[in-house]
Homo-oligomer: A and B are copies of this chain.
Amino acid sequence: MVERIELTDEQMDRIFHALSQSTRRDMLRRTLEGERSVSELAREYDMSFAAVHKHVSVLERAELVVKRVAGRERRIRANPDMIARTRTLLAQYEAMWRARIARLDELLAEEPNPSDSNAPA
């Protein structure tokens, strides 16, 4: 049973772009360990609050994290579903590879007597 994943090209662009910098991967890891506010997160990096805010926005647009309003805070937590879907996407690429290998094996395994009339026997 193959899971169908629904991700548009634009979503994949945003996801992979969001993951393409170690700072954002680190933020994803931290918010995976536990929810925190934007300013709590910002204190963990040697970077302006605005810069951290921008990184969070990139992760948010990719739907890798979600934001929850709590008073004056915005609390951020990772969205493991999106990570799972991305992993599944890569698994599909690998499946294409395996399918190709399977086709090649099939061709090699075929007896050398194809249906055209110059069969050796």
Contacts and interface: CB of A to CB of B under 8 A. Distances in A.
A17 to B, nearest CB: 4
Tell me the number of copies of this protein: 2
A83 B16 CA distance: 13
Contacts of A13: 20-22
Interface in A83-97: 83-84, 86-87, 90-91, 93-94, 96-97
Given A83-B90, A87-B90, A90-B83, A97 B32 contact: yes
Interface string A27-59: 011001110000000000000000000000000
A84 B94 contact: yes
Interface of A: 9, 12-13, 16-17, 19-22, 25, 28-29, 32-34, 78, 80, 83-84, 86-87, 90-91, 93-94, 96-97, 100
A80 B83 CA distance: 20
Contacts of A83: 90, 93-94, 97
A111 B39 CA distance: 35
